Structure 1
């Protein structure tokens, strides 16, 4: 999987920025962090920064930037949800360092898609 594959996965999922709640973004941070730690990349120091900037709003078109760090850097893009709809993935990363980001994002999209589908099914069966 490369960055374009991840963007295609997002587009095909049927999800949109309305799912960018603090809870859902914190889940993405957890998945990304787990993949980064498991990868052992950058001398085992690859991690997610805590927090989301700016704080997500419950409105369509909001931005969210998730950042990562290591012993060699801080505050680099991991995943960004830009206001124009572009989803960015660690533009600084090479083909090896991007792998945990893409794996974590793909797992999150699948979780969000499954959760969204379940909520829609429950709502359609409500009295």
Structure 2
């Protein structure tokens, strides 16, 4: 049996699929499917409710209540500035396409003037 590792949608830390602290925004419950390393990162919420049920609560729920259960996370509520969303925002703001930026980046790499991704201020 192997262990798979995932990247947290919010903090970008890696976590194993067997972690007891991992949280998923369950697509079957109306969520976006994003995975998180912890409850703190996911900030799961039930629209119109104060608390998110535990697995024990879910196991004891009547089937009708479980099927109506909806969850949302910081990603599907639009509260998380993911790299994908930031890129789309900056491309639109600067009036360029991803293809244009990629070509410019590749040209700068070939000339030796590229900026490394671990440069200060990138994260």
TM above 0.5, yes or no, is no
Question: TM-score range with shorter-chain normalisation?
Answer: under 0.3
Structure with the bigger percentage of strand: 1
Structure having greater relative contact order (Cα 8 Å, sep ≥ 6): 1
Structure with the bigger percentage of helix: 1
TM-score normalised according to structure 1 size: 0.27
